[in-house]
Amino acid sequence: MLTKILLITLFLLFPLFLGYYTTFIALISIILGILTISWHFMEKEIGWVSFGHSVPFGIAAYLLALNPTLLFLTPFIFLIFLFFSFFGRRLFPFATFIASIALWNVSHYFVLNGKGGEEGFGVPFSMSLGNLYTLSMALLLFCYVFFEIISKSNLGLKIKAVRDDEIAAKSVGIDPIRFKIVGFFFSTTFASVAGVLHAVSFSHVSPSVFSPFYALFPFVVSKISFDKRWACIVGSFVIVSLSHSLSAFLPETHYILYSVVLMMIAVVKKNAENL
């Protein structure tokens, strides 16, 4: 694990010595990397595929923009996912996706009727790009190490047990709800951290934080990264860079990639129970 961390650190440090624009693109990639790793934990370890990780991401961003003291609510965002989990594993991806789209639509009215302008709500404080990059990089590394350790711990093993069979878990004395809550909590908390960093980096929060770009980004990145945690960071850089570099010729390129990945995954894994 140490070698991987060292390599990731070197990979992340590199853009700091490039121009402002490149560093900014790398910063966005890092933030979305945190979002992807939090999503990856939810899919691989907890066994719930979310198509709405933009929900904790966007809510945390909005809370920061409205009033930073409201951020104390972020640890409770997992309750939204816990509610959707009652729909069952099969409907969960679509329930979360619909929720994110609904929030995307609702937030337009919210922004216009609230204090926000056309660009959304302003964020009350700012940081220099260098500081924000260093902070985001540290948080990404922490997120990566945290989920690696959790996955290999007894807690992680119990979370995986609940993922595999809730009845079997009960029969050996493991409370499925408790470990599901713990798993959701970790995942949504890191997604919220990514949301806060995103809001600070752009200095404003617009309804687009709930858009399908953020909702589906972790799924697509994780799949093109062959479900490897470390590769998710590289995958995040690839998609963000591709999207920005091609935006001049073909706007919203990432969506074309999204649609291809979604259709391919559905066809390739046609016999899989849960994706």
Partner 1 sequence: MLRICDLSKVYGRTVVLRGLNLELKDGIYCFFGPNGSGKTTLLRIISGFEKPSCGRVFFEGKEITGLSPQRIVKMGIAIAFQLPRVFWNLDVEQNIFLACMDKKKVKEVVKTFRLEEDVKTIAKKLSQGKIKLLQISMSYATNPRLLLLDEPFAGLDVGNVRLLIEILKELVGKKSMIITSHRPKLLRGIANKFFEIRGGKIAGSYENPT
Partner 2 sequence: MISEIFTSAFYTAFSISILLCYRVGKILNLSFASFFTLGAYLSILNPLLAIPFGASAGFILHKLTKKLSIANATIFSLGFAIAIEEILRIYFRTEYIILPVQKITLFGEMVVGSHAISGLISTAFVTIFLCFLLSKKSINLRVMEEDLELAEIYGVRTERLRLIVLTITGTLIAFLGSLHNPGIVYPTLGWQYLIFSVIIATLANIFERAYLFAILFAFVITCLPKFF
Which residues contact partner 1 (rule: CB under 8 A)? 154, 157-158, 160-161, 163-165, 167-175
First to last CA, the chain: 28
By a kind-dependent CB cut-off of 5 to 8 A, residue 13 interacts, out of partner 2, partner 1, none, with: none
Among 39, 41, 48, 51, binds partner 2 (CB under 8 A): 51
- Collapsing DSSP to helix, strand or coil, 227 comes out as coil
Which region, left, alpha or beta, applies to residue 15 given φ > 0 means left and ψ of -120 to 50 means alpha? alpha
CB of 256 to partner 2, least distance (A): 5
Residue 155 interacting with partner 2 (CB under 8 A): no
By a kind-dependent CB cut-off of 5 to 8 A, residue 119 interacts, out of partner 2, partner 1, none, with: none
CB of 171 to partner 1, least distance (A): 6
Q: Phi first, then psi: what are they for 225, rounded to 5°?
A: -95, 15
Residue 188 in tokens: 């949504």
Q: What share of the chain is helix, strand, coil (3-state, %, to 5)?
A: 80, 0, 20
- Collapsing DSSP to helix, strand or coil, 121 comes out as strand
Q: In this complex, which beta carbon is closest to partner 1, that of residue 58 or of residue 156?
A: 156
The Cα–Cα gap between 139 and 24 comes to: 16
CB of 149 to partner 1, least distance (A): 17
Binding mask 209-248 for partner 2 (x = CB under 8 A): ---x------------------------------------
